């Protein structure tokens, strides 16, 4: 069960459509479990196509009045929502740890990070500037105005149940759009708790609608087919992203896609090795390796390979795995059995192809696998080509800068990348050569509301956060005025 909350009504076992908290039409429910214990936390309505249709109608009904509010009014409501999220951060963190598994301090960090997007876009709402264009005609004036796209649909994953939603709802609402959201079935309570606070902040009924359920294909099918939905924003796997993009073709929907990553983390021989180890720990083991910007392939230049491996292994051994509610725990469980199976598969494949597990990699029961370091990794192994999404650090040796760049770019993905070097020429060369939307240079942590988050290649479309993030929810309209 959930731990005792200061505000128990943050936990809702119903979905919200048009301001009404509802069960599924059929009355069917789905269980939500604690990944650390396997215990059932509660249920959610198992909604499907019909409820999704109604949520879209509710969002469409709420749109004109929401879009007509001044940017300053919308900003005030968003700021109030941000304040409530921060005021209830402890409860929101506890809800997240219960359903997602991450350590409580990390969950609290995510609440603050998520809220920062609501705050940021509250401010950006007031900076949606248009344009005046010098006219080539003496008798015409040319102006560009920005308007909200309309009803948007959002599908979010389980790894950051609060932040992934905040990064979408924040800019959408700031721009004047209304939303229908489908959170991941594993982590719906974080999303529903945010909706409780949005309601309390005074955000009108129908502006944020949340549809819960396990039949993602049915809900996503209605979202993509609907001509009322003008835009879809999705964070999740590349495979599902491709499917949603295909499904959105018939209605020419605008898309923001934040898909898989396979981040390279390169340590050059001139790097500050301790700093690189520190960065690798953050980039690899945050959220137990379950982030799309996690370092997935760690390339280390030959002369420092052994020293780096030794230092990293010592740090990994010092991690404390356990239930996220226990004090001092730094890595929680994986989300579910499927995630455990994938990490085990990657480990077995690496060992079969000549890799060595230096530490960790033991499945200790349930969804727990001890954090692992693998050396002697070759490009033929699955850990070199696929996203592991787990606590497994593969160390791959390389000789030259050109080789490191070639290996780093040898993937269909292009989300985050990281490298450590103190040579300013190399820093520029490598930063420009990496095929990625984000490059961490001498740091293992790049995300913040002020900066554009997103990928190139098959890692997605669009950017979240920064002054660019709101543009994804705006249309420009060109006015040509005869005078
Ligand atoms: P993961 O493997 O991290 O769960 P997914 O891409 O499967 O990544 O899931 C991300 C989100 O996409 C979740 O909310 C999930 O329910 C949803 N999803 C999965 N399959 C579909 C689908 N066919 N249509 C719409 N949404 C989907």
pLDDT tens for 102-132 read 999 999 999 999 999 999 999 999 999 999 9
Instruction: Tell me how far the alpha carbon of residue 21 lies from the centroid of ligand 1, in angstroms.
Output: 24
- pLDDT at position 2 is 79
Q: In this structure, which residue's CA is closest to atom 17 in ligand 1?
A: 216
Distance 123 CA to ligand 1 centre (A): 31
pLDDT at residue number 45 = 98
Q: Model confidence at 424, in pLDDT bands (50, 70, 90)?
A: very high
Is the pLDDT reported for residue 434 higher than 90? yes
Over residues 83-100, the mean pLDDT reads 98
- Known active-site residue 51: no
Smallest Cα–Cα separation from 394: which of 434, 363, 353, 422? 353
Mutation to probe ligand 1, out of 30, 168, 226, 240 (largest number of atoms < 8 A from CB): 240
Residue 320 in this model has a pLDDT that exceeds 90: yes
With a cut of 80, say whether residue 290 has pLDDT above it: yes
* Mean pLDDT to the nearest integer, 299-312: 98
Residue 275, pLDDT score = 98
Structure tokens at 42: 């509660």
Q: Check 258, 387, 401, 464 and give the catalytic one.
A: 258
Looking at residue 379, what is its pLDDT? 87
Once rounded to an integer, what is the mean pLDDT over residues 188-196? 98
Residue 207 scores a pLDDT above 90:
yes
Contact 177, 151 (CB under 8 A): yes
CA of 184 to the centre of ligand 1 (A): 7
For atom 9 of ligand 1, the residue with the nearest CA is 236
Give the number of the atom of ligand 1 that is nearest the alpha carbon of residue 214: 16
Q: Which residue, by CA, sits nearest to atom 14 of ligand 1?
A: 184
Over residues 361-371, mean pLDDT = 97
Structure confidence by residue, pLDDT tens digits, 245-271:
999 999 999 999 999 999 999 999 999
Of 199, 228, 206, 276, nearest in space to 53 by CA: 228
> Which atom in ligand 1 lies closest to the alpha carbon of residue 338?
2
ipTM: 0.97
- Closest residue (by CA) to atom 27 of ligand 1? 216
Instruction: Report, as an integer, the average pLDDT of 374-381.
Output: 93
Ligand 1 center–CA 355 separation, angstroms: 32
pLDDT at 1 over 80: no
Helix H or strand E segment including 58:
helix 49-68
| Residue whose C-alpha is closest to residue 181's, from 160, 204, 208 | 208
What is the number of the ligand 1 atom nearest to the C-alpha of 155? Answer: 14
How many Å lie between the centroid of ligand 1 and the Cα of residue 261? 15
Residues contacting ligand 1 via CB (< 6 Å): 155-157, 182, 184-185, 216-217, 220, 236-237, 240, 243-244
Q: Residue of the nearest CA to atom 19 in ligand 1?
A: 216
Residue 148 has pLDDT above 80, yes or no: yes
For residue 187, pLDDT over 80 is answered with yes
Contacts of 58 (CB under 8 A, 6+ apart): 17, 18, 19, 180, 205, 206, 209
């Amino acid at each position: 069960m959930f731990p005792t909350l200061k505000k128990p009504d943050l936990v809702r076992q119903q979905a919200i459509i048009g301001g009404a908290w509802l069960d599924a039409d059929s009355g069917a429910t789905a269980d939500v479990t604690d990944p650390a214990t396997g215990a059932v936390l509660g249920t959610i309505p198992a909604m499907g196509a019909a409820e999704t249709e109604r949520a879209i109608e509710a969002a469409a009904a709420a749109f004109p009045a929401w879009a007509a509010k001044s940017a300053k009014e919308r900003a005030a409501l968003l700021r109030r929502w941000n304040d409530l999220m921060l005021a209830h951060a402890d409860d929101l963190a506890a809800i997240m740890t219960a359903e997602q598994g991450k350590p409580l301090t990390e969950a609290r960090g995510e609440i603050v990070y998520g809220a920062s997007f609501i705050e940021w876009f509250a401010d950006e709402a007031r900076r949606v500037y248009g344009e005046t264009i010098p006219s080539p005609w003496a008798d015409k004036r040319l102006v560009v105005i920005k308007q909200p796209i309309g009803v948007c649909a959002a599908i979010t994953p389980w790894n950051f149940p609060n932040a992934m939603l905040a990064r979408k709802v924040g800019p959408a609402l700031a721009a004047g759009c209304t939303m229908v959201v489908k959170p991941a079935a594993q982590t719906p309570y974080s999303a529903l708790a945010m909706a409780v606070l949005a309601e309390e902040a005074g955000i009108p009924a129908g502006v944020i609608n949340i549809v819960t359920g396990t039949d993602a294909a049915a809900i996503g099918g209605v979202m993509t087919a609907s001509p009322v939905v003008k835009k879809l924003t999705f964070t999740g796997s590349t495979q599902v992203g491709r499917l949603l993009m295909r499904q959105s073709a018939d209605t020419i929907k605008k898309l923001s896609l934040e898909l898989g990553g396979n981040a390279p983390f390169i340590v050059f021989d001139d790097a500050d090795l301790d700093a690189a180890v520190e960065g690798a720990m953050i980039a690899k083991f945050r959220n137990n390796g379950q982030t799309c910007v996690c370092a997935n392939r760690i390339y280390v230049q030959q002369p420092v390979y052994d020293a780096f491996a030794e230092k990293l292994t010592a740090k990994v051994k010092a991690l404390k795995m356990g239930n996220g509610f226990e004090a001092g725990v730094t890595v929680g469980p994986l989300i579910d059995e499927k995630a455990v199976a994938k990490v085990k598969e990657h480990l077995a494949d690496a060992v079969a192809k000549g890799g060595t597990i230096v530490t960790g990699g033991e499945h200790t029961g349930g969804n727990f696998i001890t954090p692992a370091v693998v050396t002697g990794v070759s490009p033929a192994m699955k850990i070199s080509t696929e996203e592991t999404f787990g606590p497994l650090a593969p160390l791959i040796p390389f000789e030259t800068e050109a080789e490191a760049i070639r290996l780093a770019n040898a993937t269909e993905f292009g989300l985050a990348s990281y490298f450590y070097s103190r040579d300013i020429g190399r820093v520029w060369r490598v930063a420009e050569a990496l095929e990625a939307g984000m490059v961490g240079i001498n740091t293992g942590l790049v995300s913040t509301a002020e900066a554009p988050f997103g990928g190139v290649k098959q890692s997605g479309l669009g950017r979240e956060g920064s002054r660019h993030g709101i543009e994804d929810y705006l249309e420009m309209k060109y006015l040509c005025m005869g005078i």
